[in-house]
Amino acid sequence: MGSWDYQKDISGCGLSGLINKKGERVSGELIARSIATQHDRGNGLGGGFAAYGIYPEFKDHYALHVMCDDRRALAEAEKFLKDSVYVTHEERIPTRPNRKIINVPILKRYFVKPRAETEGTTFDKGLSEDDFMVQVVMRVNMDIAGAFVFSSGKNMGAFKGVGYPEDIADFYRLDEYSGYLWTAHNRFPTNTPGWWGGAHPFTILDWSIVHNGEISSYGINKRYLEMFGYHCTLLTDTEVVAYLLDLLVRKNGLPIDLACLALAPPFWEEIDRMDEGRQRLCRAVRMVYGSALLNGPFAVLFAHNGGLVGLNDRIKLRPLVAATKNDTVYMASEESAIREICPDPDRVWAPKAGEPVIAELENRDGGCYGD
């Protein structure tokens, strides 16, 4: 594990997220301040952010954020990318020196389009652009030692590493970005190593997940996902949630609320008391997606280009608070993280176990989302 051989410790993580439903963009400075309020929920072994609407100049390109251990890994990853996709623009991810952020991997980003023709390559034939990009990400993460694509959506990006989130935000110069949707994570690794790839968010395409808790069903979820070509390479349970959402929502076409029902379904006893229609739906979801059920304690925020969702496990073993102010919806582990950046919310509430809080962009074609 080399320079990433950090010690294991115990406790919880911190989450924060916000979305402006009208698509108006705010600086990353805001979310950094919010998550910093929950500094003591983490231990400096992981911080990260997901930002949406930040690359309007490349909104039709997949933005690949890549971390590499060394020049060899970078050279190999670049060769693979240039053989597989059209790279319109590439650059180092801009960073600012921060004395608390050390052992930094090589960080680059590539704005790419999939190659139209996969004849003569080892990629499957007739893939959609999204499916093709999923395969590209999986290949890099599985086959190229020391290279990881940690962000692969359009007009969005993940920024993460080992450190407290406020230092990670400074390091990645997030105050220079503006987005309509931000999530943040403060990590306190419990069961898996605190390394750059293991920081949250976990992403695939424009799905990003930040998570507090642990997914006890990781083994079942991981094997289930492998049947559909998703491979878990980042040594941490949370990764499965990103791929499950991609499978359930993008591939299988489930609406978000049904996908949440599959991840955190009601208990059978509760289903028995529902009206007949609801019973049939819940039974069907539990039977078809039994292997997608997330067991164990969790609070997650997941984001995509169209919105932000907060979800708890079925018996609320991790905290989650939500609030609204005008067109903005906030969600966080602690109310103080919301009040730090929104002192006077219109409404504050604690979401119920297993009941998603869904905040969607009102007009996905207009505003800052499209341009």
Partner 1 sequence: MEIDARGVHYRDLNKMIREAVAEGERRFVLKNVNGQRYIADGIGEKVKIDVYGTPGQDMGAFMKGPEIIVHGNAQDGVGNTMDEGRVAVEGMAGDIVGYGMRGGSIYVLGDVGYRVGIHMKAYRDKIPVIVVGGKAGDFLGEYMAGGVIILLGMFGEDRNGNPPAGHFLGTGMHGGTIFVRKGVDEHRLGRGLKAVEVSPDDMETIKPYLKEFARTFGLGLKEILGERFYKIVPETHRPYGNMYAY
* Active site positions, annotated: 13
Scan for tokens 């801009």, then name that residue.
Answer: 94
Question: Between residues 125 and 347, which has the closer beta carbon with respect to partner 1?
Answer: 347
Of the candidates 292, 302, 296, 150, the residue with the CA atom closest to the CA atom of residue 227: 292
Instruction: Please give the structure tokens belonging to residue 109.
Output: 């980003």
Cβ(148)–Cβ(66) below 8 Å: yes
Distance set, CA 359 to CA 20, 208, 310 (Å): 9, 15, 9
350 binds partner 1 (CB under 8 A): yes
Distance CA 180, CA 321 (A): 20
321 binds partner 1 (CB under 8 A): yes
38 binds partner 1 (CB under 8 A): yes
Instruction: Figure out which of the listed residues 60, 226, 270, 346 binds partner 1, where binding follows CB under 8 A.
Output: 270
Instruction: Figure out which of the listed residues 348, 355, 358, 360 binds partner 1, where binding follows CB under 8 A.
Output: 348
- Enumerate residues 6+ apart whose C-beta is below 8 A from 96: 170, 171, 172, 173
Q: How many residues bind partner 1, per CB under 8 A?
A: 22
**Residue span 186-225 as binding mask against partner 1, x where in contact by CB under 8 A, dash where not:** ----------------------------------------
337 binds partner 1 (CB under 8 A): yes
Q: How is residue 144 annotated by DSSP?
A: S
Within 10 angstroms of residue 322's Cβ, the number of other Cβ atoms is 20
Instruction: Please give the structure tokens belonging to residue 191.
Output: 């069961």
Distance CA 27, CA 2 (A): 35
Q: Is the dihedral of CA 241, 247, 252, 253 positive or negative?
A: positive
Cβ(206)–Cβ(361) below 8 Å: no
Instruction: Figure out which of the listed residues 319, 328, 367, 369 binds partner 1, where binding follows CB under 8 A.
Output: 319
Instruction: Figure out which of the listed residues 67, 153, 340, 368 binds partner 1, where binding follows CB under 8 A.
Output: 340
User: How near is the Cβ of 46 to partner 1 at its closest, in Å?
Assistant: 20
User: How near is the Cβ of 302 to partner 1 at its closest, in Å?
Assistant: 21
100 binds partner 1 (CB under 8 A): no
Angle, CA of 184, 204 and 146, to the nearest 5°: 90
User: How near is the Cβ of 50 to partner 1 at its closest, in Å?
Assistant: 22
Instruction: Figure out which of the listed residues 339, 342, 357, 359 binds partner 1, where binding follows CB under 8 A.
Output: 339
User: How near is the Cβ of 319 to partner 1 at its closest, in Å?
Assistant: 6
Scan for tokens 């960073």, then name that residue.
Answer: 95
Instruction: Figure out which of the listed residues 78, 130, 206, 334 binds partner 1, where binding follows CB under 8 A.
Output: 334
User: How near is the Cβ of 300 to partner 1 at its closest, in Å?
Assistant: 17
99 binds partner 1 (CB under 8 A): no
Contacts with partner 1, residue ranges (CB under 8 A): 37-38, 40, 269-270, 273, 315-316, 319, 321, 334-337, 339-340, 347-350, 352-353
